Amino acid sequence: MIRNAKIVASGMYAPENVIPNSYFNKLLGEDVDTWLRENLTIKERRWCNENQSTADLCVEAAKRILSNANTKADQLDLLIIATDTPEYISPSTASVVQYRLGATKAGTFDVNTACAGFVTALDIASKYIRSDKKYNKILVIGAYAMSKYLNLQDKKTVTLFADGAAGVLLESTTEEGTGFLTSSLYTEGQYCDWMGIYAGGTHKPITQKVLEEKDHLLKFVKKFPKETNPITWTRMIKEACTELNIKPDEINHYFITQININSIWETLDNLGVDRKKGHTIMEHYAYTGSACIPMAFDDANKKGLIKKGDLVLFIGSGGGLAFALSIFRI
């Protein structure tokens, strides 16, 4: 029998600390609430409190996923965490989470393709299951605690980025026609220095000068061409559909990086797909990077929108500039 990877449960966690748009009106001394609502649909977001970190978010999300799957932590074979706001430079965030969960049999590693990380990790996990019988239960989590890296005076970033963690449990299956169907990864590395956190690694270790110049915080160095995401997403989706011999409209749900709702709508319009198939959550959670796609998936799952047999597409993009796509039949 041919082994495949199947999504059997999802779960998410967002910090309790709700930051409404009105907070930024006071912080920045101008009305940003109107622009955020009218252009991005964002009304509020969640930020960690001072004692919360990425591992804390992951542990809470993991508990919810495992509970929904009726699975114990010590049954996991592998734990993959996708994040570009890690608990430490080293060791991996996944090792911290594995210990706290009691996932004593699970191997661990982190993936960093910025906000494309969760979909990249899904790709990796699926291929572990398909290729090696030792891996039957893999927990994949996307996590983001970007509030820790925000410059509160930078209007371009401070109003958009937020915190959360979410993921799925993948299990091996021999059920024909279900589970992982295809994936693709793509990168335009010429954009690697356009947006990111450029201090704290070996290129620019933390010094007093770095702290004073706030180089350890998230920066938009250059403005990305607004057409980049819709063009690339559209092309990758069409290529995947051609590979599977399906039409884009046959896909039941699209979960796309939640950074700009207009880019999502433009992509779906390009494909001739009803916008209702593009589930979004940015209204209440703003942009949660590696976590946003699994958060949207879990939200749709909780609302009963995802049915057995549905075709589900995940596509993410993040700094680098990295893109990742995967398609599953639920």
Indicate whether 168 and 213 sit together in one domain: no
Q: Are residues 184 and 171 in the same domain?
A: no
**Are 232 and 311 contained in the same domain?**
yes
| 84-137 tens-digit pLDDT | 999 999 999 999 999 999 999 999 999 999 999 999 999 999 999 999 999 999
Same domain, 81 and 101: yes
The domain that holds 194 is classified in CATH as 3.40.47.10
Q: Clarify whether residues 163 and 191 are in a common domain.
A: no
Q: Report pLDDT for 104.
A: 98
Q: Determine what percent of the chain is predicted with pLDDT higher than 90.
A: 92
Write b or e for each residue in 217-242: b if 16 or more Cβ atoms lie within 10 A of its Cβ, otherwise e.
bbbeeeeeeeeebbebbbebbeebbe
Q: Up-side HSE of residue 190: CA atoms within 13 Å toward CB? A: 3
Q: Which of 176, 206, 241 corresponds to the end of one domain?
A: 176
Question: How high is the pLDDT of residue 222?
Answer: 83
Picking from 154, 176, 198, the residue at the C-terminal end of a domain is 176
CB contact at 8 A, 123 and 324:
yes
Q: What is the pLDDT of residues 145-194, one digit of tens each?
A: 999 999 999 988 999 999 999 999 999 999 998 999 999 999 999 999 98
pLDDT for 205-231, tens place per residue? 999 999 988 889 998 888 888 899 999
Q: What is the pLDDT of residue 229?
A: 95
Q: What is the pLDDT of residue 195?
A: 87
- Beta bridge mates, 138: 78, 170
Question: Are residues 247 and 184 part of one domain?
Answer: yes
Same domain, 25 and 171: yes
Domain of residue 67 covers: 4-176
Return d(Cα 287, Cα 157) in angstroms, integer: 10
Tell me which residue has tokens 């990790």. 121
Tell me: do 118 and 202 sit in the same domain.
Answer: no
Helix (H) or strand (E) holding 28: helix 21-28
Do 30 and 160 lie in a common domain? yes
In this structure, the answer to whether residues 23 and 168 fall within a common structural domain is yes
142 and 210 share one domain? no
Which token pair is 62?
């993991």
Number of structural domains, the chain? 2
pLDDT tens per residue across span 229-282: 999 999 999 999 999 999 999 999 999 999 999 999 999 999 999 999 999 999
Place of tokens 């001072």: 50
Quote the CA–CA distance of 295 and 255 in Å, as a whole number: 9
* Alpha-carbon span 216 to 5, nearest angstrom: 38
Average pLDDT estimate for 292-317 = 97
Q: Has residue 1 got a pLDDT over 80?
A: no
Choosing from 157, 176, 195, the residue where a domain stops is: 176
Q: What pLDDT sits at residue 225?
A: 82
